[in-house]
Structure 1
Amino acid sequence: MFEAKFEQAALFKKIIDAIKDTTSLCNFNCTEHGITVQAVDDSRVLLISLLIGSDCFQSYRCDKSITLGMDMSNLSKVLKTGNANDSLTLMAEDSPDSLLIVFEESEKSKISEYTLKLMDIESDYFNIDDIEQDSLITLPASEFQKTVKDLSQISDSLAILVTKDTIKFHVKGEMGDGDVILKPAVDLENTDNSVKIELNKAVNLNFGIKYILDIIKGSSLAPAITIKLTDQNPALFEFKLSSGYLRFYLAPKFEEDEE
């Protein structure tokens, strides 16, 4: 038996909203420790790695490891029927062909139940090595989100340049150039508003901005985003959950990609 109850549906709704446009089909792997997802977009440029630890739930039970293969569009449609502050319970048998989704309103004593058919989805598992990064930056998720949206008006490529003193986001398009420069700053009252740079080596990497626009959909999950950059390697963009994380691994663009 698998049964996972969120005190409020808001967290799971935000997680699904953050990844549903990147991948259409997902395997949710449920174990005694929580739920994990690993999926790639159709172009195989962006990899999603999700961990919802058991402590994220009001109650959690998984007697046997199971895989729930779901169409993200269908899952999203069901989740839209519930309110953010409803409790949300996911239930499945040990050899499931469907997932029971239950919303419960505490104040109105209303219960809504939906049965979502599961799918048999073939997927590759990627062993992601923990590469020592050249630079690690942390900044408010809302700041990164606004920066990406603003600069996406100018170009379809975004360069991130990191030195010990600055983080520079640069775009160059037919209409002109654009730069947003952030300097390290510590907010003692709210550390999530701080901008931090840990540098082993200066970095200058270029990314397809359409993929960054998908990544920033996770901004509602956490107040800050951590970005690990390493020359010639995929970048890691991470939003931390109370128990777990949502990570995006994005391959940089090279000169031959832009020809």
Structure 2
Amino acid sequence: MLEAKLDQAVLFKKVVDAIRDIVQDCNFDCSETGIALQAMDSSHVSLVSLLLAADGFSEYRCDRSVALGINLASLTKILRCGNNDDILSIEAPDKPDNLTIRFENTQQDRMSEYVLKLMDIDQELLGIPDTEYPATVSMPSSDFQRICRDMNAISETITLECTKSGIKFSCDGDIGTGSVTIKPNKSADKPELSTTIELLQPVSVSLSTKYLLDFCKATSLSSQVILKLSDENPILVEYPLASGYLQFYLAPKLDEYNE
């Protein structure tokens, strides 16, 4: 049996909001270590990987591994029935057909319960291979979101060039061009505003601004975003969570890069 409780529903609501436009139907794979998800978008260009570790829940129990096949649009409708600061509980038996979702507000002495029908989704964990990325950038997630939004107004493609001196975001569209360069910097008082770069070799990669904007819907989950860049392999965009992570992988536009 699965029993999991979060002291505030807002975390799970934000996670689902961040991925529901990329993936429609997916399995939440629950085990004694936590709740995981891996799924590709319909075009097989991007991949979502989520881990909510067991120690991140106020209460967690999973007697045996179970896959919960869920339509994220339906889950979103139910999650909107609860407030952000409600206590969220989810329960499912070992062979579930339904998922029970409860919201509890102790101050108002209110509890609501909903039952979500589960789906039978033939989907396996993809086994993401370990990749050595030649460039790793940690930067404020809000800055990354703003840059992606601004570049999307000019072009469907954004180029990331990473060197020891900084990371440059640039685009070239019908209406003109644009670029933003961020140099490494550290803030002792506000480390969440720092930008750090770990570099084995310079990287230049072109990506879809549309997908990056979809990834940026996770901005509210973490003050920092980690970009792991490679010329040829899919890049990794990671939002660290208190106990776990939300990761997005995106294939580079190799045809445009090689031009």
Q: How does 1:171-210 map to 2 (within 5 A)?
A: 171-210=171-210
**What are the Cα deviations for residues 83-129 of structure 1, in whole angstroms up to 9, with x where unaligned?**
00000000011111000000001210000100000000112432211
Q: 1:149 matched to which residue of 2?
A: 149
Letter in 1 for 2:25: L
Distance 2:216 2:55 in 1: 25
Q: 2:67 matched to which residue of 1?
A: 67
Q: 1:16 matched to which residue of 2?
A: 16
Letter in 2 for 1:186: K
Q: 1:231 matched to which residue of 2?
A: 231
For the pair 1:222 / 2:215, whether they are aligned, the reply is no
Q: How does 1:99-178 map to 2 (within 5 A)?
A: 99-178=99-178
What is the SS of the residue equivalent to 1:154? coil
* Displacement after TM superposition at 1:23 (Å): 0.5
* Displacement after TM superposition at 1:56 (Å): 1.3
**What are the Cα deviations for residues 127-168 of structure 1, in whole angstroms up to 9, with x where unaligned?**
211211110000000110111111110000010000100110
Q: How does 1:28-67 map to 2 (within 5 A)?
A: 28-67=28-67
* Displacement after TM superposition at 1:256 (Å): 5.9
Distance 1:9 1:213 in 2: 24
Instruction: Rate the CA distance shift 1:258–1:70 in 2: closer, same or farther, 3 A.
Output: farther
Distance 1:12 1:233 in 2: 30
Distance 1:169 1:219 in 2: 18
* Displacement after TM superposition at 1:257 (Å): 8.7
Distance 1:256 1:209 in 2: 14
Q: 1:89 matched to which residue of 2?
A: 89
Letter in 2 for 1:200: L
Q: Which runs of 5+ in 2 are unaligned?
A: none
Q: Which runs of 5+ in 1 are unaligned?
A: none
Q: How many aligned positions are there?
A: 259
Between 1:119-128 and 1:38-47, the stretch displaced more is: 119-128
For the pair 1:5 / 2:1, whether they are aligned, the reply is no
What is the SS of the residue equivalent to 1:95? coil
Instruction: Rate the CA distance shift 1:192–1:256 in 2: closer, same or farther, 3 A.
Output: closer
Distance 1:16 1:258 in 2: 35
Distance 1:56 1:158 in 2: 35
Letter in 2 for 1:34: G
**What are the Cα deviations for residues 35-83 of structure 1, in whole angstroms up to 9, with x where unaligned?**
0000000000000000000111110010111110000000000001110
Q: 2:255 matched to which residue of 1?
A: 255
What is the SS of the residue equivalent to 1:35? strand
Letter in 1 for 2:79: L
Identity percentage over the alignment?
Answer: 45
Distance 2:175 2:129 in 1: 39
Distance 1:110 1:185 in 2: 47
CA root-mean-square deviation? 1.3
Q: Is the 8 A contact 2:205 2:257 kept in 1?
A: no
